[in-house]
Structure 1
Amino acid sequence: MRALVIQHDHVTEPGLVGARLVERGYDLTAVTVVPEDRRHTPDVTFDFPEPAEWDLIVSLGAPWSVYDETAVGSWIGGELDLLRKAHDLGVPVLGVCFGAQALTTALGGSVERSPRPEIGWTSIDTHDPAVVGPGPWMQWHYDRCVPPPGAEETARNAVCVQAFRVGRSLGVQFHPEITLRMLRGWLRDGGEEQCIGQGVDPGELLARSRELEPTARANARHLVDGFLDRVVASEG
């Protein structure tokens, strides 16, 4: 089975989600939309592959907003088209943070500024714990999803919808893929200043993440299994 992983920047990787997909028999092919030398000018051009070539698509997070055309430029249109075609073909999509926002936008929902940012580990209220557990999950976002028509809200908290499913696809606002390597990259590339601006101690966040490594791995495995066994395996 072949899975396409869309990495929007050079730091965010499939991480724990990718590891579990490999364990479940998927061969991952990762493509990076914005190379490291264009991080501050991310309005690149990028040709996305056709969704029919894949058994599964994973769209990961990004440090930009789906609706910020000065940042994402023309490539966001190509990704939305890919996700829309995938949905129409019944190719499952797992959207993570920015990926979830792209998924909801592609299918007729929208993205709006969150009433407050979320940075750090939080628990959520879940309507389907067999798919999306209560956490704790790593959060790092300033925007939130308005799910598309016909979507089923799967989890939320006081800030926003935290997970939704539509057809054979699932979008999650949090980061089940997080690893210490990834978090260090986020902190190094501007995240430390963001944390301080939101009253979050970067050192404490890193220490807490190290402490929660086993929990994060177990939660990611549960999410991927729930996605594959209950969402992907459904008739849509």
Structure 2
Amino acid sequence: MSENSNPIAAATDSGPAITVVQHQESVPLGLLTDALAGARLHIVRPDAGEPLPGAEGLEALIVLGGSMAAHDEQDHPWLAAERDLLSAAVQHGVPTLAVCLGAQQLAMARGGQVEKSAPTGPEQGVIEVRMRPDAVTDPVLGPVVAALGRDIPAPSMHADAVTALPAEATWLASSQQYPFQAFRVGSAVGVQFHPEAGEDVIRRWAENRGLDVEEVTAGYRPNAEALTTLVTELGAAFLAQIADRSRLAVR
């Protein structure tokens, strides 16, 4: 898919170029689209047969979530190539945001472990994420901590989980149910939660899974302001990380 054929990319003609790997129609960039206003967003769909780019020429990379498992290469053979892309992005210093499945892929790409249908069960709806001390100085999560404190509400929808971080990773956040809610590997940050998922998206996911929709979405209205702040601050901080890299490159 060319950048000009992408309706999101066509809407902006300035700002950094961010390649967004989307794994299925039902798991879009969502609220991050507005949070990344001004960027040129190029959506790549490996599930539709579109080739993944090389990391060398990327200005920035986002890898979204999906209902497939990171280990499910038989049905989704592009998963292995995506891990190669994530690892290469780290090696080349490409600012990268990896969400849910993307975070699991990042962990595996750099030597961590992911367990399918983890024994503590699925984590669904708005959960509390506790930021660890290293998150305070993280270029992407630091502004979130500054705005919301160390305990933040965040949307979640997953059953698979990172069970061991890569040896080089910095552990950034946990939840009561799962320890590895966020981590950094070089230029890449992985988040198990879904900052991009508004109530409408979580509602559709719950419906598709046959869950109690009202129960899953109950945490949205009480935390509406904080959830908006989460995605706004995270998006702005990610753009700032991209800009910092660009400034260093021209020195």
- Bin of the TM-score, shorter chain as denominator length: 0.7 to 0.9
In structure 2, what is the equivalent of residue 59 of structure 1? Answer: 63
Q: Tell me, what secondary structure is at the counterpart of 1:150?
A: coil
- 2:47–2:78: 8 Å Cα contact kept in structure 1? no
Gaps of 5+ in 1: 36-44, 196-200
Which residue pairs with 1:163 in the alignment? 182
Contact between 1:132 and 1:155, CA under 8 Å: does it hold in 2? no
| Residue 24 of structure 2 is aligned to residue 20 of structure 1 | no
**Is 1:138 matched up with 2:155?**
yes
Shift of 1:181: 3.3
- Partner of 1:222 in structure 2? 233
Q: CA deviation at 1:228?
A: 4.5
Q: How far did 1:125 drift?
A: 1.5
| 2-structure distance, mates of 1:138, 1:85 | 29
Specify the code of the residue in structure 2 equivalent to 1:178: A
Counterpart secondary structure, 1:214: helix
Q: Which amino acid aligns with 1:6?
A: V
1:205: how far off? 2.7
Partner of 1:38 in structure 2? none
Query: Is 138-147 or 222-231 further displaced after alignment?
Result: 222-231
Q: Quick one: distance in 1 between partners of 2:87 and 2:128?
A: 30
Deviation at residue 227 of structure 1 after TM alignment: 4.0
3-state SS of 2:160 partner? strand
Cα deviations by residue, 1:122-165 (Å, 9 ceiling, x for unpaired): 11211224255432101111111122111100011232211001
The 3 A distance-change label for structure 1 pair 93 and 232 is: farther
Once residues 132 and 172 of structure 1 are traced to their aligned partners in structure 2, the CA distance between those partners, rounded to angstroms, is 13
Counterparts of 1:144 and 1:165 in 2: how far apart (Å)? 16
- Trace 1:116-127 onto structure 2 (pairs within 5 A): 116-127=121-132
Cα distance in 2 between the residues matched to 1:232 and 1:83 = 20
Residue identity in the other structure for 1:214: E
Q: State the alpha-carbon separation in 1 of the partners of residues 235 and 65 from structure 2.
A: 16
Selected match of 2:200 from 152, 166, 181? 181
Gaps (5+ residues) in structure 2? 1-15, 137-141, 146-150
TM-score of the superposed pair, with normalisation by structure 1: 0.81
Counterpart code for 2:98: G
Moved more, 222-231 or 120-129: 222-231
Q: CA deviation at 1:220?
A: 0.9
**Aligned partner of 2:185: which letter?**
V
Q: Secondary structure at the match of 1:135?
A: strand
Task: State the distance in 2 between where 1:116 and 1:107 align.
Answer: 25
Following superposition, the deviation at residue 60 of structure 1 comes to 0.4
Aligned-partner Cα distance in 2 for 1:143–1:131: 28
Output the CA distance in 2 between the equivalents of 1:210 and 1:148. 36
Tell me the residue number matched to 2:84. 81
Give the whole-Å Cα distance in 2 for the aligned partners of 1:230 and 1:31.
Answer: 22
- Measure how far apart 1:207 and its partner are: 4.9
SS of 1:123's equivalent in the other structure is strand
How high is the TM-score relative to the length of structure 2? 0.77
Task: Count matched residues.
Answer: 215
Q: Contact 1:10–1:32 (CA<8 Å) still a contact in 2?
A: no
Show the counterpart of 1:34.
Answer: 47
- Maintained 8 Å contact 1:16/1:178: yes
